Structure 1
Amino acid sequence: MNSMLSTLINLVSIISPVIIFGTCCYFLAKKSAVEAILMTIGSGIGLLTTLFYSVLMPFLINDRYLAYTEISQYHTVIGIISFIASLCFAAGFLILIINTVKKNTVTYDQFPKSIDYNHE
């Protein structure tokens, strides 16, 4: 029972990566662009690393009685993969922001200001 409860608590950390990956997949389905591809790849790998850390790693530690050096090696490799995934997501997000800002450069003329009405 205790291991089941700890597994459920670990699964809570998967909620936000699943939402982010789902959102990126939706964005990729709607607009097949470089930023969507990068963000989907980054969030997908990020979801996999989160699954590894929160589900698979505790199972491996408890089941196989891994030594600290082996656990450290796993964490190092997955950390590097996670870093590359974060860079992919960040690059895609940066491209999305740059493209969005370029499209909306004339927004200052689209909204009425309080000084636009006639004072007469």
Structure 2
Amino acid sequence: MILNSNSMKPIYVQIAEYLEGEILRDSIRPDEKIYSQYQLAEMFNINPATAAKGLNLLADEDILYKRRGLGMFVAAGAKKIILTKRTNTKLKELIEETVREAFQLGVSKEELMGMIQKVIEQKEGKE
């Protein structure tokens, strides 16, 4: 992953989202040690304090937990927390944006639902 310094999202949020993605892909499993702030700083060429802020954001959300003197580890329910969070925030935002755009374009509810159904069918056919 390459961080986007032009993004509206702060770098520490991008770091947190990168780590969430690693957890969702099972690259880092529950109770496994996660990268240190210094490893992340080196990986992404950022300030260690920025990396620490991303780690602390995930710790505040109970996705990571600290073991004194050992570092940060992935919490047992981390994957579920991330899925719930992304469903309730990111997915909801995307849906709201899509509906807003459809209404501005004059797309009816039925047309929009039909478009969504087509995309679902295409995705189901590929799996």
Question: What's the TM-score bracket when you normalise by the shorter of the two chains?
Answer: 0.3 to 0.5
- Higher Rg of the two aligned structures: 1
Give 1 or 2: higher strand fraction.
2
Give 1 or 2: higher helix fraction.
1
Q: Compare relative contact order (CA 8 Å, sep 6+) and give the higher one, 1 or 2.
A: 1
Q: TM-score, normalised by structure 1?
A: 0.34
Q: TM-score, normalised by structure 2?
A: 0.33
